[in-house]
Protein backbone atom coordinates (compact mmCIF):
# COMPACT_ATOMS: atom_id res chain seq x y z
CA UNK A 1 0.00 0.00 0.00
CA UNK A 2 1.21 3.50 -0.78
CA UNK A 3 1.98 5.70 2.17
CA UNK A 4 1.50 9.44 2.38
CA UNK A 5 2.74 11.01 -0.84
CA UNK A 6 4.22 14.49 -0.97
CA UNK A 7 5.43 16.55 -3.89
CA UNK A 8 7.77 18.02 -4.73
CA UNK A 9 10.47 16.42 -2.57
CA UNK A 10 12.69 19.46 -2.98
CA UNK A 11 11.82 23.02 -3.89
CA UNK A 12 14.19 25.92 -4.35
CA UNK A 13 12.66 29.30 -5.02
CA UNK A 14 13.41 32.96 -4.72
CA UNK A 15 12.01 35.29 -2.13
CA UNK A 16 8.64 36.66 -3.14
CA UNK A 17 7.62 33.69 -5.26
CA UNK A 18 4.56 31.57 -4.60
CA UNK A 19 5.18 28.02 -3.39
CA UNK A 20 2.66 25.19 -3.43
CA UNK A 21 3.27 21.95 -1.59
CA UNK A 22 1.09 18.93 -2.27
CA UNK A 23 -0.02 15.95 -0.23
CA UNK A 24 -1.96 12.78 -0.91
CA UNK A 25 -2.98 11.09 2.36
CA UNK A 26 -3.41 7.37 2.86
CA UNK A 27 -6.72 6.22 1.46
CA UNK A 28 -9.38 5.92 4.14
CA UNK A 29 -7.68 8.25 6.59
CA UNK A 30 -9.93 10.95 8.04
CA UNK A 31 -7.31 13.32 9.42
CA UNK A 32 -4.60 15.24 7.60
CA UNK A 33 -1.89 17.27 9.32
CA UNK A 34 0.68 19.75 7.97
CA UNK A 35 3.90 20.19 9.96
CA UNK A 36 7.05 22.25 9.55
CA UNK A 37 10.44 21.10 10.86
CA UNK A 38 13.49 23.28 11.46
CA UNK A 39 16.59 22.84 13.58
CA UNK A 40 15.65 25.84 15.71
CA UNK A 41 11.98 25.13 16.34
CA UNK A 42 11.70 21.37 15.86
CA UNK A 43 8.50 19.85 14.49
CA UNK A 44 5.56 22.26 14.61
CA UNK A 45 1.95 21.62 13.70
CA UNK A 46 0.68 24.19 11.22
CA UNK A 47 -2.88 23.07 10.53
CA UNK A 48 -5.01 19.95 10.52
CA UNK A 49 -8.16 18.77 8.77
CA UNK A 50 -10.82 16.28 9.74
CA UNK A 51 -12.97 14.97 6.89
CA UNK A 52 -11.59 17.73 4.63
CA UNK A 53 -12.61 20.50 7.06
CA UNK A 54 -9.91 22.67 8.68
CA UNK A 55 -10.16 22.18 12.43
CA UNK A 56 -7.23 24.10 13.89
CA UNK A 57 -5.02 26.53 11.98
CA UNK A 58 -3.54 28.24 15.03
CA UNK A 59 -0.07 27.06 14.04
CA UNK A 60 -0.10 28.81 10.67
CA UNK A 61 2.56 31.48 11.13
CA UNK A 62 1.13 34.26 8.99
CA UNK A 63 -1.46 35.17 6.42
CA UNK A 64 1.11 34.29 3.79
CA UNK A 65 0.36 30.63 4.58
CA UNK A 66 -2.84 28.95 3.45
CA UNK A 67 -3.96 25.34 3.22
CA UNK A 68 -6.80 23.62 1.44
CA UNK A 69 -8.23 20.15 1.25
CA UNK A 70 -10.67 20.07 -1.67
CA UNK A 71 -11.28 16.32 -1.32
CA UNK A 72 -10.29 13.35 0.80
CA UNK A 73 -7.29 12.48 -1.34
CA UNK A 74 -5.56 15.81 -1.82
CA UNK A 75 -4.32 18.79 0.15
CA UNK A 76 -2.14 21.79 -0.60
CA UNK A 77 -0.10 24.16 1.51
CA UNK A 78 0.61 27.46 -0.19
CA UNK A 79 3.05 30.19 0.77
CA UNK A 80 2.61 33.53 -0.97
CA UNK A 81 4.90 35.43 -0.98
CA UNK A 82 7.68 33.18 0.28
CA UNK A 83 10.48 34.48 2.51
CA UNK A 84 13.91 33.02 3.41
CA UNK A 85 12.70 32.27 6.93
CA UNK A 86 10.14 29.86 5.46
CA UNK A 87 13.00 27.51 4.54
CA UNK A 88 12.27 24.22 6.31
CA UNK A 89 11.11 20.67 5.74
CA UNK A 90 7.34 20.48 5.46
CA UNK A 91 5.64 17.21 6.38
CA UNK A 92 2.16 15.98 5.72
CA UNK A 93 0.72 13.23 7.92
CA UNK A 94 -2.57 11.37 8.00
CA UNK A 95 -4.41 9.03 10.31
CA UNK A 96 -7.69 7.21 10.72
CA UNK A 97 -10.50 8.30 12.94
CA UNK A 98 -9.87 6.80 16.33
CA UNK A 99 -8.70 7.38 19.84
CA UNK A 100 -5.67 9.21 21.09
CA UNK A 101 -3.46 6.20 20.48
CA UNK A 102 -4.09 6.27 16.75
CA UNK A 103 -0.88 6.38 14.74
CA UNK A 104 -0.02 9.27 12.47
CA UNK A 105 1.68 8.28 9.22
CA UNK A 106 4.10 10.84 7.85
CA UNK A 107 5.10 11.51 4.29
CA UNK A 108 8.75 11.87 3.25
CA UNK A 109 8.57 15.66 3.45
CA UNK A 110 9.27 18.56 1.10
CA UNK A 111 12.53 20.38 1.67
CA UNK A 112 11.90 24.05 0.85
CA UNK A 113 14.71 26.51 0.33
CA UNK A 114 13.83 30.17 -0.20
CA UNK A 115 16.75 32.23 -1.45
CA UNK B 1 7.42 27.88 25.13
CA UNK B 2 8.25 24.26 24.36
CA UNK B 3 5.88 22.05 26.33
CA UNK B 4 7.92 18.87 25.92
CA UNK B 5 11.62 19.09 26.65
CA UNK B 6 13.84 16.20 25.71
CA UNK B 7 17.28 15.42 27.07
CA UNK B 8 19.91 14.98 26.03
CA UNK B 9 19.74 16.90 22.76
CA UNK B 10 22.59 14.93 21.24
CA UNK B 11 24.05 11.57 22.13
CA UNK B 12 26.99 9.78 20.52
CA UNK B 13 27.78 6.30 21.80
CA UNK B 14 29.53 3.11 20.82
CA UNK B 15 27.69 0.01 19.72
CA UNK B 16 26.71 -2.12 22.70
CA UNK B 17 26.22 0.72 25.17
CA UNK B 18 22.97 1.44 26.96
CA UNK B 19 21.25 4.83 26.92
CA UNK B 20 18.19 6.64 28.23
CA UNK B 21 16.36 9.55 26.64
CA UNK B 22 14.02 11.69 28.72
CA UNK B 23 10.90 13.62 27.79
CA UNK B 24 9.68 16.06 30.43
CA UNK B 25 6.86 18.53 30.84
CA UNK B 26 5.09 20.50 33.52
CA UNK B 27 1.79 19.63 31.81
CA UNK B 28 -0.25 16.46 32.04
CA UNK B 29 -0.73 14.48 28.84
CA UNK B 30 -3.53 12.03 28.16
CA UNK B 31 -1.25 9.94 25.96
CA UNK B 32 2.30 10.06 24.74
CA UNK B 33 3.99 8.63 21.66
CA UNK B 34 7.61 8.05 20.67
CA UNK B 35 8.74 8.40 17.06
CA UNK B 36 12.04 7.77 15.30
CA UNK B 37 13.05 9.81 12.28
CA UNK B 38 15.84 8.92 9.88
CA UNK B 39 17.50 11.43 7.54
CA UNK B 40 15.34 12.35 4.56
CA UNK B 41 12.26 10.63 5.96
CA UNK B 42 9.27 11.43 8.11
CA UNK B 43 8.93 10.27 11.72
CA UNK B 44 7.76 6.70 12.28
CA UNK B 45 5.79 5.68 15.35
CA UNK B 46 7.54 3.36 17.80
CA UNK B 47 5.05 3.18 20.66
CA UNK B 48 2.07 4.82 22.37
CA UNK B 49 1.60 4.91 26.15
CA UNK B 50 -1.68 5.99 27.69
CA UNK B 51 -1.68 4.92 31.36
CA UNK B 52 0.39 6.56 34.10
CA UNK B 53 3.21 4.22 35.10
CA UNK B 54 2.84 2.14 31.95
CA UNK B 55 5.92 0.31 30.68
CA UNK B 56 6.16 -1.05 27.15
CA UNK B 57 8.96 -3.04 25.58
CA UNK B 58 9.84 -3.23 21.91
CA UNK B 59 12.80 -5.61 21.53
CA UNK B 60 15.75 -3.67 23.02
CA UNK B 61 13.68 -0.52 23.60
CA UNK B 62 11.82 0.10 26.86
CA UNK B 63 9.35 2.96 27.17
CA UNK B 64 7.89 4.28 30.40
CA UNK B 65 5.14 6.81 31.07
CA UNK B 66 5.48 8.67 34.34
CA UNK B 67 2.94 8.04 37.10
CA UNK B 68 1.67 11.63 36.84
CA UNK B 69 1.62 11.46 33.02
CA UNK B 70 3.95 14.46 32.76
CA UNK B 71 7.08 12.66 31.63
CA UNK B 72 8.37 9.65 29.77
CA UNK B 73 11.61 7.84 29.12
CA UNK B 74 13.06 5.66 26.39
CA UNK B 75 15.79 3.21 27.32
CA UNK B 76 17.81 1.36 24.68
CA UNK B 77 19.81 -1.68 25.69
CA UNK B 78 22.91 -2.65 23.72
CA UNK B 79 22.53 0.06 21.10
CA UNK B 80 23.24 -0.80 17.47
CA UNK B 81 24.15 1.45 14.52
CA UNK B 82 20.65 0.84 13.17
CA UNK B 83 19.28 2.73 16.20
CA UNK B 84 20.82 5.94 14.87
CA UNK B 85 18.26 8.66 14.26
CA UNK B 86 16.22 11.48 15.74
CA UNK B 87 13.94 10.37 18.58
CA UNK B 88 10.85 12.47 19.20
CA UNK B 89 8.31 12.25 21.96
CA UNK B 90 4.86 13.62 21.23
CA UNK B 91 1.92 14.12 23.54
CA UNK B 92 -1.77 14.82 23.39
CA UNK B 93 -2.79 17.25 26.10
CA UNK B 94 -6.42 16.35 26.54
CA UNK B 95 -9.22 14.24 25.23
CA UNK B 96 -10.74 17.28 23.55
CA UNK B 97 -8.03 17.75 20.97
CA UNK B 98 -6.47 15.72 18.19
CA UNK B 99 -3.24 17.71 18.19
CA UNK B 100 0.12 16.11 18.86
CA UNK B 101 2.71 18.33 20.52
CA UNK B 102 6.21 17.20 19.63
CA UNK B 103 9.22 17.34 21.90
CA UNK B 104 12.49 19.07 21.11
CA UNK B 105 14.10 15.81 19.90
CA UNK B 106 17.17 13.74 20.76
CA UNK B 107 19.65 13.01 18.00
CA UNK B 108 21.33 9.65 18.58
CA UNK B 109 24.44 8.43 16.78
CA UNK B 110 25.63 4.88 17.42
CA UNK B 111 29.11 4.09 16.12
CA UNK B 112 30.16 0.56 15.20
Q: What is the pLDDT of residue A2?
A: 83
Contact between A97 and B89 (Cβ < 8 Å): no
Q: What is the pLDDT of residue B92?
A: 87
User: Average pLDDT, stretch B29-58?
Assistant: 94
- Residue that wins the pLDDT comparison between B21 and B29: B21
**What order do you get walking across the sheet with A19-24 strand by strand?**
A5-7, A19-24, A74-79, A65-71
Give chain B positions within 8 Å (CB) of A49. Answer: none
Q: What is the pLDDT of residue B2?
A: 59
Give the pLDDT band (50/70/90) at residue B96. Answer: low
DSSP letter for B4, please.
Answer: S
- Write out chain A's pLDDT in tens, 115 residues: 689 999 999 999 999 999 999 999 999 999 999 999 998 889 999 999 999 999 999 999 889 999 999 999 999 999 999 999 999 999 999 998 876 567 899 999 999 999 9
Q: What is the pLDDT of residue A1?
A: 64
Q: What is the pLDDT of residue B1?
A: 52
User: Average pLDDT, stretch B72-88?
Assistant: 97
Q: What is the pLDDT of residue A75?
A: 98
Q: What is the pLDDT of residue A34?
A: 98
Phi-psi region of B26 (alpha: psi -120 to 50; beta: other; left: phi over 0): alpha
DSSP string, B26-65: SS--SEEEEEEE-TTS--EEEEEE-STT-EEEETTEEEEE
Question: Measured between CA atoms, how close is A11 to chain B, in angstroms?
Answer: 14
User: Average pLDDT, stretch B22-41?
Assistant: 93
Question: Measured between CA atoms, how close is A54 to chain B, in angstroms?
Answer: 12
Best of A3, A30, A43 to substitute, by most chain B Cβ atoms within 10 angstroms, is A43
Phi/psi at B21 (nearest 5 deg)?
Answer: -115, 140
Q: What is the pLDDT of residue A29?
A: 93
CA distances in angstroms from A41 to A45, A73, B2, B5, B104, listed in the order given: 11, 29, 9, 12, 8
Give chain A positions within 8 Å (CB) of B93. Answer: none
Q: What is the pLDDT of residue A99?
A: 66
A43 contacts chain B (CB < 8 A): yes
Best of B98, B99, B103, B105 to substitute, by most chain A Cβ atoms within 10 angstroms, is B98
Q: How many Cβ pairs closer than 8 A exist between chain A and B?
A: 53
User: Going by DSSP bridges, is the β-strand pair B55-58/B71-76 parallel, antiparallel, or unpaired?
Assistant: unpaired
Q: Cα–Cα distance between A22 and B107 in angstroms, integer?
A: 28
Q: What is the pLDDT of residue A12?
A: 98
**B-chain residue closest to A92, CA distance:** B42
CA distances in angstroms from B68 to A23, A101, B24, B80, listed in the order given: 37, 18, 11, 32
Give chain B positions within 8 Å (CB) of A42. Answer: 2, 88, 102-105
Amino acid sequence: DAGVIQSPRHEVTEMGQEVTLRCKPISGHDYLFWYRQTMMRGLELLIYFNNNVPIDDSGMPEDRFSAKMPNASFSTLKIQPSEPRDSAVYFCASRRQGGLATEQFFGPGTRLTVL
Amino acid sequence: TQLLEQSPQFLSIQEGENLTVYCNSSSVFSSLQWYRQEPGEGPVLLVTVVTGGEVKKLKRLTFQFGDARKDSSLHITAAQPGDTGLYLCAGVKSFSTDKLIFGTGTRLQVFP
